[in-house]
Structure 1
Amino acid sequence: MNEPDLNLLIALDALITERSVAGAARRLGLSTSAMSRTLGRLREATGDPLLVRAGRLMVLTPRAGAIRERARYAANEARTLLRPAQTELNIASLTQTFTLRVSDGFIEAFGPALIAEVATQAPGVLLRFTPKPEKSDLPLREGRVDLEIGVAGKSMGPEIRLQGLFRDRFVGVVREGHPLAGAKRVTLEQYIAWGHVVASRRGLMHGPVDEGLAQAGVSRKIATVVPGFPVALAVARATDLVALVPASILLSPSAREGMVHFELPVKTRTITISQLWHPRLEVDPAHRWLRGVVLQVCRRLMP
């Protein structure tokens, strides 16, 4: 029995990830015709079409979907095994791109300081920030993301590594000149007398403050729901609506501009912001350095 061509493993991972012959070709630096021939060899080796056309798009077959994570893991393991071992890491000469999955609010609050610190220590390192439209450990498990930063949800698998960065709390925010902006302490009655803008990726109508309001026997009037905290601030800046945001987002000068924040009249839970990564990167020297920089910057800004 002939041994399978293990070069096909990298191509399989690229095709399944990109779901496109042209996209996989670009990823591997091959021509589209060469990748098309490679897909033919993969189909022959696996006995499955793997990618099939659905209108103008290509979709995975059930077999390809079932082996997607295993293919990604195997390809990453192969790359690690064939990469020279790093016993000592020269940070100053490191040339690498790290992909971080973070919220827009984190980029506004911590991005500039993080980028500056990385540039000082390792000028050859590029930070690529990508959005997180939902909580999922799939990007980490598939190797598409090096680090995720945010609140760890139940969707994260038990193997995902986690380190707390700082604790955050929610505050109310209104525009300068708003009647609540001059209050020494915003009362419960004052807080619920105004309309509110809610930030929710999933379009939820309630936020962290509503449980406390319910316990007090009152509720607030929701005027609009937006997909993120930066947008909520923009809406509050241009209206009389009250926004609810994490205190950390106000580290950004652009977020604070024209705004006044206040402590909420009811208690809300604090949240722990963490950095998360896949265990295959646990002892990687470059990744350990990156995690150290993120921790250093976050704790400097949010002691």
Structure 2
Amino acid sequence: MNDVDLNLLPALDALLTEGSVTGAARRLGLSASAMSRTLARLRSMTGDPLLVRAGVGLVPTPRALAMREQVREVARDARALLGRETTEIDPAALERTFVVRANEGFVALFAAPLVATVIRAAPRVRLRFVPRLVKDALGLRDGRVDLEIGVLGKSGPEVRTHAIFRDRFVGVARVGHPLLDTQVTAASFAQCLHVVASRKAVVHGPVDDALAELGLRRTIVAVVAGFPDALRIARDSDVVAQVPRSLVRADRPSAAALVEGLEVFELPMALPEIVISAMWHPRLDVDPAHRWLRETVTAVFRASPVV
């Protein structure tokens, strides 16, 4: 289509609708002379005069009459296709499946209220949760994942992020553990046996860095894939676990089963906050449906009693 100038399409639509060079020029915000030159180009391209003089006005040729409705439809479709998409969306009419990649902590804490919110606002939307086994941008880049929730890892530089939740680690030990007989200090904490939750079996972490700054070192006897497993081990042994505070907050009803037989204590060293972020690929940045999903996730986090 190198010989076709699609910029002429709106002009042709205006000329055939107005039946006047002056009217078409006014409609498109052009001068009458510019529109006359455009009409000349259209005549040359179509091989038809399109509009011919009849007294003081112009009348369409048979070719122009035949193409008028089609030109109007094509021009409307072109504007809809290439114009800016509306920023408004009706969630009730939205029919789409969103893939959300998140760890079990997010699913345990927020999946239920998020699903309930989506059902009320957008009953035709389906959420498919997949585990966050790795911290990379591949799923976002290739479109397998719409939204990722978690701690930032080695992601692509183009990935959009928005911090939606801040958490911190706390210690957990069985009821009656000797560590809890007196005030927990960094030294007494380090002397305990520890279980670490890590999907990639990474043993060294922020707790070890904080202890090292105090000249201390702990003994790790078990590495598990998730925090619920760490809690089970701590409940049935003298091993101590570290988990996010949100997972074991007493004011969260579903935490009761997790903390049964356990005591939660503040860690005796300063650790960096856990920042939970929403991540998505920039190709979805202005997509109204995806923006609605991001706003819904953020709203659910802010309304949650564990935040």
Tell me the TM-score range normalised by the shorter chain.
0.5 to 0.7
Counterpart mapping for 1:213-224 below 5 A: 213-224=211-222
In the superposition, the TM-score normalised over structure 2's length comes to: 0.66
Contact in 2 for aligned 1:175/1:236 (Cα 8 Å): yes
Q: What is the letter of the counterpart of residue 255 of structure 1?
A: L
Counterpart in the other structure of 2:264: 261
Counterpart in the other structure of 2:3: none
Q: Aligned-residue CA RMSD in angstroms?
A: 2.2
Counterpart in the other structure of 1:94: 94
Q: What is the letter of the counterpart of residue 122 of structure 1?
A: A
- Once residues 131 and 89 of structure 2 are traced to their aligned partners in structure 1, the CA distance between those partners, rounded to angstroms, is 29
Q: Which moved more, 1:117-126 or 1:209-218?
A: 117-126
- Once residues 104 and 276 of structure 1 are traced to their aligned partners in structure 2, the CA distance between those partners, rounded to angstroms, is 17
Given the alignment, which residue of 285, 290, 298 partners 1:287? 290
User: CA 1:182 to 1:86, structure 2 compared with 1: closer, same or farther past 3 Å?
Assistant: farther
Q: What is the letter of the counterpart of residue 111 of structure 2?
A: G
Contact in 1 for aligned 2:187/2:216 (Cα 8 Å): no
Identity %: 52
Query: Is 1:197 the equivalent of 2:195?
Result: yes
Superposed displacement of residue 246, structure 1: 1.4
User: CA 1:287 to 1:226, structure 2 compared with 1: closer, same or farther past 3 Å?
Assistant: same
Q: What is the letter of the counterpart of residue 167 of structure 2?
A: D
| C-alpha distance after superposition, 1:197-231 (max 9, x if no partner) | 01112112223211111111111111111112222
Contact in 1 for aligned 2:100/2:129 (Cα 8 Å): yes
| C-alpha distance after superposition, 1:17-74 (max 9, x if no partner) | xxxxxxxxxxxxxxxxxxxxxxxxxxxxxxxxxxxxxxxxxxxxxxxxxxxxxxxxxx
Q: Which has the larger radius of gyration?
A: 2
- Once residues 228 and 279 of structure 1 are traced to their aligned partners in structure 2, the CA distance between those partners, rounded to angstroms, is 30
Counterpart in the other structure of 2:132: 132
Contact in 2 for aligned 1:146/1:277 (Cα 8 Å): yes
Counterpart in the other structure of 1:108: 108
- Once residues 138 and 123 of structure 1 are traced to their aligned partners in structure 2, the CA distance between those partners, rounded to angstroms, is 29
Superposed displacement of residue 177, structure 1: 3.5
Q: What is the letter of the counterpart of residue 280 of structure 1?
A: R
SS of the equivalent of 2:88 reads coil
User: CA 1:257 to 1:128, structure 2 compared with 1: closer, same or farther past 3 Å?
Assistant: farther
Q: What is the letter of the counterpart of residue 290 of structure 1?
A: L
Counterpart in the other structure of 2:161: 162
Unaligned runs of 5+ in 1: 1-80
- Once residues 264 and 111 of structure 1 are traced to their aligned partners in structure 2, the CA distance between those partners, rounded to angstroms, is 28
Superposed displacement of residue 249, structure 1: 2.1
Query: Is 1:174 the equivalent of 2:173?
Result: yes
Counterpart mapping for 1:68-83 below 5 A: none
- Once residues 150 and 103 of structure 1 are traced to their aligned partners in structure 2, the CA distance between those partners, rounded to angstroms, is 7
Superposed displacement of residue 86, structure 1: 5.4
Query: Is 1:120 the equivalent of 2:120?
Result: yes
User: CA 1:180 to 1:95, structure 2 compared with 1: closer, same or farther past 3 Å?
Assistant: farther
Superposed displacement of residue 128, structure 1: 0.7
Contact in 2 for aligned 1:96/1:124 (Cα 8 Å): yes
Counterpart in the other structure of 2:299: 296
Q: What is the letter of the counterpart of residue 261 of structure 2?
A: G
SS of the equivalent of 2:205 reads coil
Contact in 1 for aligned 2:210/2:269 (Cα 8 Å): yes
SS of the equivalent of 2:194 reads strand
Counterpart in the other structure of 1:146: 146
